[in-house]
């Protein structure tokens, strides 16, 4: 199986067909002993510039091990991509062609922006728009990014060989996916956390300093605080009535637990429950973050004054002032400004664990 680009010239693609030690069909991707012995198709989406170039370097080191571990029974397609649009196209193409798995190699940006969004098209899962006889495509992850916050929820380390072993075991489970919709844009899907106002503004700035590694989160936070003002907002939970929420500092809707390089902001979020955990910070000053930063990182902040939490199926948020300019992001990608609606799609895709 060869994934091809659409008008993108800065992409290098190759297919490995190794004849090394085979894996048994029983062990690969949950296939039972009665399954056919066909070769499995795996598509790896790699952002070689991720983590200031570290992702590309680590991937080149990993390829020989990957070939030796999986190559006998698998067609391994590697796509080095320089942009999210091309990666999304590759992901959709792989699903339509019946790939066994599309595996993101990188951090949260590669996983979310470049791969997860490729599992959907025209507001629906790509798989739901195909013939039912086509085998389902699972999402996989080899975490090699700056933050790799989604991986933290499952206790996964930035260990590529350990990640390859997960692919080899092939245990699958359906997980929830979040979706962000607005008045003037198409749906955008996320697998980790979507956030609004200060944290989203900080994330917007942090994305410009990824070359500094995890220090980018500190720089982003400092720039986010410059000129920051808490805002009164209108919020609607689960299609209910609008309520006023004064002096909002940040709103986080978590499908998983961590963001910002290890901050456990939605500590009770679980991508298997069919809902999102929403955490709202109100009337926080800069010194509140300094004094309570340790609680935000270890997930014990829910008992702090001016912090509230609830589990939801959806949340809509508007800026009462109507002036605009309140940021929203998900998994490090800036998605514009309010108003927006965030919802959960239960058990939307299969993931390799």
Show which residues are catalytic: 108
Q: Judging by DSSP bridges, how do beta strands 231-237 and 193-197 pair with one another?
A: unpaired
Token pair listed for 259 = 């963001």
Token pair listed for 309 = 């939490």
Backbone angles phi, psi at 283, to 5 degrees: 55, 40
Q: Can you state the angle between helices 54-70 and 160-169, rounded to 10 degrees? A: 40
Q: DSSP readout, 239-263? A: T--EEEEEEEEEEEEESSS-BTTTB
Q: How many CA atoms lie within 13 A of 164 on its CB side?
A: 19
Which DSSP category does 20 fall into? S
Token pair listed for 53 = 């170039």
Q: Judging by DSSP bridges, how do beta strands 188-190 and 172-182 pair with one another?
A: antiparallel
Beta strands in 261-352 (DSSP E): 276-282, 307-312, 314-319, 327-330, 333-337, 340-352
Look at residues 97, 91, 59, 74 and name the one whose alpha carbon lies nearest to residue 27: 74
Per-residue b or e along 261-286, where b marks 16 or more CB atoms closer than 10 Å to that residue's CB: bebbbbbebbbeeebbbbbbbbebee
Number of neighbours of residue 10 by Cβ within 10 angstroms: 10
């Amino acid at each position: 199986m060869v994934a091809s680009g659409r008008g993108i010239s800065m992409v290098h693609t190759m297919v490995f067909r190794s004849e090394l030690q085979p894996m048994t069909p029983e062990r690969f991707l949950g296939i039972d002993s009665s399954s056919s012995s066909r070769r499995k198709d795996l598509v790896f989406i790699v952002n070689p510039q991720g983590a200031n170039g570290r992702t590309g370097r680590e991937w080149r080191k990993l390829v020989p091990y990957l070939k030796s571990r999986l190559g006998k029974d698998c067609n391994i397609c590697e796509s080095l991509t320089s942009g999210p649009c091309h990666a999304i196209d590759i992901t959709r193409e792989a699903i339509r062609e019946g790939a066994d798995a599309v595996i993101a190699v990188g951090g949260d940006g590669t996983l979310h922006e470049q791969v997860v969004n490729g599992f959907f098209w025209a507001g629906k899962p790509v798989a739901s728009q195909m013939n039912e006889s086509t085998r389902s495509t699972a999402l996989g992850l080899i975490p090699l990014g700056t933050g790799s916050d989604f991986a933290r929820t499952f206790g996964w380390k930035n260990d590529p060989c350990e990640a390859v072993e997960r692919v080899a075991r092939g245990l699958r489970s359906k997980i929830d996916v979040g979706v962000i919709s607005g008045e003037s844009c198409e749906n955008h899907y996320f697998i980790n956390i979507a956030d609004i106002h200060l944290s989203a503004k900080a994330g917007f700035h942090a994305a410009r300093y990824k070359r500094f590694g995890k220090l980018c989160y500190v720089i982003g936070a400092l720039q986010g605080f410059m000129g920051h003002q808490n805002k009164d907002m209108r919020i609607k939970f689960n299609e209910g009535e609008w309520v006023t929420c004064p002096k909002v500092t940040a709103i986080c809707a978590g499908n998983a637990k961590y963001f910002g390089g290890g901050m456990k902001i939605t500590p009770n979020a679980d991508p298997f429950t069919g809902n999102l955990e929403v955490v709202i910070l109100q009337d926080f000053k800069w010194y509140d973050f300094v004094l309570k930063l340790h609680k935000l990182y270890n997930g014990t902040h829910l008992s702090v004054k001016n912090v509230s939490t609830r589990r939801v199926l959806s949340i809509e948020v508007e800026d009462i002032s109507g002036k605009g300019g309140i940021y929203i992001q998900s998994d490090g990608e800036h998605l514009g400004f309010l108003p927006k609606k965030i919802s959960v799609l239960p058990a939307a895709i299969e993931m390799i664990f």
